[in-house]
Structure 1
Amino acid sequence: MTKHDYNLSRRGFCLCCLGGATFAATGGWLSPAETFAAAKSLVVQIREAAAAAEITTTKLRGGISAFSGSGGNMCVLVGDDGKLLVDAGITATRPRIEKALAELGPQPINHLINSHWHFDHADGNEWLNSEGAMIMAHPNTLKHLTVATRVEDWDFDFPAFPKSALPTMLMKGDEETLKHNGQTIALKYYGPAHTDSDISVFFQEANVVHVADTFWNGVYPFIDYSTGGSIDGQIQAAEANVKMVDDQTIVIPGHGEIGNKKDLIAWRDMLVGIRENVAKLKKDGRSVEETIAAKPTAKWDPVFGNWAISPALFTRLAYEGV
C-alpha cells in the first residue's frame, strides 16, 4: 500500500482550518496567549465548526479505519469483539461519527482509548461511554480531566469532566498490552512530550500505529507547556516513533494526513533543526522578537509552515523551551 492509498483529508485538521484567519490577521507576531485569545476563543471556534464538520473514513488494514474531521484524527478497530476506538473527537460531531461507525458494521462500541487529555481528542468521552465504551488512558490524562485545567497559550480554562466522561481503566506502567479483535494492541507512554499524558497505540498484527499529537504530519505543532509539554519532549517522542516503526508501518498522526516512517523522520529532523537554530539565537542573546525576525524555521516553512501554527508562533514555542 502506498502513502497515497490511505491519505486523510486535511479537513480533519480543525486547529489549522480555524486558526488560519487569526494567524493571517496577526501575522503570527502575537504571543501564543494573545493569538489564541484573539476574537473568539479558538476552543469555542473549533467546537462550533465541529457541529457542521464532515467525517471522512479511510480504511487501512486489519479491520482498522481512520476518521478525520472531528478535532484530532481518530481510529477504530472493528471485529467480532466489538468496536475499539482511539480518541473520541468533539461531541458536536457525534451524529456523523455515529453514522461513520454504523457504516463499518453493527458491532457495539465497547472500548475507547484516550491518547492524551486535550479536548479535541477526549471531548466525546461522555457520549461514547453512554454507548458502552470503557475508557482507558494514562493516569495523567485522568489527572487533567478530573480537575479544572488551564492552558495558558490557549488562554482557556477547561472545566473538570463529569464522572461519566472519565477514564476508568488506567495504564499501570509505561507499557500495557491489550487483545481485541485478533490484534495485539501495545500502549506506550512517552513521558512528557506534547503534554505529560501522551501514549501511542500500536496494532501489532496490522502494523498500524496511532501516535496522536506526538506527530503532526506536514504542519508545525502546538506544544502544551501548561501540562508538561516541551520542545525537547516532542523531539524525544519523535525519536521514539522513528525507532518504533518499520517501512511498512501505517502511522496515524494526531493532525494531518496518514503517514509512514519517512514522514516521521522528516518531522523529527524538522524539530531538531529548528530547536538547534532557536537555541543558538537565544544563547547569543537574541530576544524572542529578534529570534523570530531571524527566521530560524525558513528551511522548513514551505512544508510545515502553511497552517495555523505559523512559523512565528512555532518559533515562540521553541524559544520558550530552550
Structure 2
Amino acid sequence: MKNEHMLSRRGFCLCCIGAAGFAATGGWLSPREAYAEARGLVSLIKDSAAKSAITTHKLRNGITILEGSGGNIAVLGGKDGLVMVDAGISVSQKQMAKVLSDISPDPVSHLINTHWHFDHADGNPWIGSDGAKIIAHENTRKHLSQVQRVEDWDYNFLPLARSGVPQHVFSKEHTLKLNGNTLDLKYYGPAHTDGDIYVMFGEADVLHAGDTYWNGIYPFIDHSTGGSIDGMIAAAELNLAASNDKTIIIPGHGNPVSNRAELREFRDMLVAIRENVAKLKRQGRSLDETVEAKPTAAFDGKWGQFVIDPAFFTRLVYAGV
C-alpha cells in the first residue's frame, strides 16, 4: 500500500513537469531524474521547472497564460504594469523573466496568489523583491510564513523569504481596478486548501480558478491544509455561478484554456465519485476495500490517464467523506 501511494504522489509531480516531458521519456526516469526523486519529490519538480520552456497562450483584453512553471499563470499587461496571477516556481525565473519582458517592458506591479502551494507561489520572492505588491487570502500568508508540511508529498516547506510573503491579505472579497479591468478576488472557503481564491477579470470575462479546477485530470486535494472533496465541489459550483458560456476559464493544471462546459463536466465527475466512495464507506468498507471496488471506473478513461491515478484519487476522496 505504501509503494502504491508513493507512485501516485510521483504521478502528481509529473503534472507539474508537463505532459511533453513525460511522453518524451516514456514515463521512465533518467539517472539524473532518479537521483532527483531520491532527494525528494518536490526537488524533482523544481529540477524539471528549471529547464522547462514557458509556453504562452494569448487570450483577450491583454491577458496571457504562461504554462510550464508549476501551475497555469495569468498575466495582464497595460499602463499600470504587469499584473500576475500566481508566480510559478523560482527556478524558472530566467525563462519567466524573458517571457514577461516579451509581453511588456514594464515591471510586475501586482502579484495575486490563488493559494499557497509552491508550484504557484515559490516564485513570489524574486517578483516581490522587484517591488510587486503581493495579494492573497489571509490563510495563504499564514502558510507561506511558517514551516508547512504536506503529508501526501512527504515534505516540509520552509517559510518564504520576506519579499515573497503577501503583504496585502483579505478574508472574503477584494477588488482591484488595473489595466482597464476590474479584478474581483473571492474566497471559496476551504476547497483545494483553506486559502483558495478565484480571480475574475471582469471586462475580459476571464476567470482564473486556481487549483479548484483541474482540466481533464483528477485533482489533488490537500487535506494537510484544509482541503476536502466537499470543498472542491462547492468551489466548482461557485466557479459555475461566476461564469457564463462565453467566459474563458483558466484551471490551475491541465489544458490552460477552458470553458464552462468542461468545468461542468469536472463538477459532475467530482459529485459522482464522491457519492460512489461515500456509499462504500457507509457500507463499512475499509480504505483498501474501497480502492479495490474501483468507484472511479466510469471516469478513469478520461480523468485517470495522466497524473493522479484512480487509486490515489479514491484515497483522497475517502479521507473527506
The corresponding residue for 2:275 is 276
After the TM superposition, which residues 208-223 of structure 1 pair with which residues of structure 2 at under 5 Å, given as runs? 208-223=206-221
After the TM superposition, which residues 1-322 of structure 1 pair with which residues of structure 2 at under 5 Å, given as runs? 13-14=15-16, 39-171=38-170, 173-257=171-255, 258-322=257-321
The corresponding residue for 1:4 is none
Structure 1 distance, partners of 2:99, 2:163, is 23
- Match of 2:198, as an amino acid? S
8 Å Cα contact 1:16-1:309 kept in structure 2: no
Q: Runs ≥4 in structure 1, deviation > 6 angstroms?
A: none
Change (3 A) 1:273 1:220: same
Q: CA offset at residue 48 of structure 1?
A: 0.6
8 Å Cα contact 1:75-1:85 kept in structure 2: yes
Change (3 A) 1:137 1:19: farther
Gapped regions of structure 2 (runs ≥ 5): 1-13, 29-35
TM-score of the superposed pair, with normalisation by structure 1: 0.89
Count matched residues: 297
Q: CA offset at residue 162 of structure 1?
A: 1.6
Structure 2 distance, partners of 1:39, 1:289, is 27
**CA deviations over 1:224-266 (Å, ceiling 9, x no partner):** 0000001110111011111110000000000011210001100
**CA deviations over 1:162-206 (Å, ceiling 9, x no partner):** 2111000112x4111100001000000000000000000000000
Change (3 A) 1:223 1:16: farther
Structure 1 distance, partners of 2:268, 2:41, is 29
- Match of 1:219, as an amino acid? I
8 Å Cα contact 1:192-1:228 kept in structure 2: yes
Q: Percent identity?
A: 55
Q: CA offset at residue 131 of structure 1?
A: 2.2
8 Å Cα contact 2:82-2:104 kept in structure 1: no
What secondary structure is seen at the aligned counterpart in 1 of 2:184? Answer: strand
8 Å Cα contact 2:18-2:68 kept in structure 1: no
- Match of 2:260, as an amino acid? K
What secondary structure is seen at the aligned counterpart in 2 of 1:300? Answer: helix
8 Å Cα contact 1:278-1:315 kept in structure 2: yes
- Match of 1:180, as an amino acid? L
Q: Which has the higher contact order (CA 8 A, sep 6+)?
A: 1
TM-score of the superposed pair, with normalisation by structure 2: 0.89
Structure 2 distance, partners of 1:288, 1:39, is 28
8 Å Cα contact 1:203-1:209 kept in structure 2: yes
Structure 2 distance, partners of 1:133, 1:300, is 42
- Match of 1:41, as an amino acid? G
8 Å Cα contact 1:72-1:254 kept in structure 2: yes
- Match of 1:227, as an amino acid? T
Q: CA offset at residue 41 of structure 1?
A: 2.0
What secondary structure is seen at the aligned counterpart in 1 of 2:51? Answer: coil
